[in-house]
Amino acid sequence: MVNSVEELIHHLIPLSKKTEAVLHLSLEDSWDSDAISCQIDKGKYLLLYYTTDLDNPTEKYPRSYHRGLETHKKVEIRGNFYDENTICYDYGLVLMLFKEFFQQKQIPLYILS
């Protein structure tokens, strides 16, 4: 259990040097809790945010990072292939999103679509 944003960042910073890892942070210890996760693979980061639908609070849906590229090449992350638009290459952004989620309990729609 992480109790402070400083403790969270202390745990996350060393993971930037990992070749492969999976990060997961949820609001509650429940299978359907709002959560943010990140798969790390050699400097590539796949961010996913599982959250409540604002229009229908009984539904949950995933949101992801989107770079807005016109091309749609496939990029491998931990053995699976994803659209290059969903891959982040900036670990600073990963830290910012985990910090935002920890402090605010949500991530604004303009950051993850």
Residue-wise pLDDT tens digits, 18-37: 899 999 999 888 777 899 99
Q: Is residue 78 situated within a structural domain? A: yes
Q: What's residue 46's pLDDT?
A: 96
pLDDT at 81 over 80: yes
DSSP code for 43: T
DSSP code for 17: G
Average pLDDT, the chain: 90
pLDDT at 47 over 90: yes
Q: What's residue 52's pLDDT?
A: 84
Q: Is residue 54 situated within a structural domain? A: yes
Backbone Cα Rg of the chain: 14
Backbone angles phi, psi at 111, to 5 degrees: -90, -50
Q: Is residue 113 situated within a structural domain? A: no
Q: Is residue 94 situated within a structural domain? A: yes
Q: Are 94 and 45 in contact, with CB atoms under 8 Å apart? A: yes
Query: For residue 45, what are the domain limits?
Result: 5-104
Q: What's residue 33's pLDDT?
A: 84
Q: Is residue 90 situated within a structural domain? A: yes
Q: What's residue 109's pLDDT?
A: 78
Backbone angles phi, psi at 88, to 5 degrees: -105, 145
Q: Is residue 31 situated within a structural domain? A: yes
d(CA 71, CA 30): 37
Q: Which residue has the higher pLDDT, 52 or 19?
A: 19
Give the pTM.
0.88
Q: Is residue 110 situated within a structural domain? A: no
Backbone angles phi, psi at 20, to 5 degrees: -140, 140
Q: Is residue 51 situated within a structural domain? A: yes
- Look at the chain and report how many structural domains it folds into: 1
Per-residue pLDDT band for 92 (boundaries 50, 70, 90) equals very high
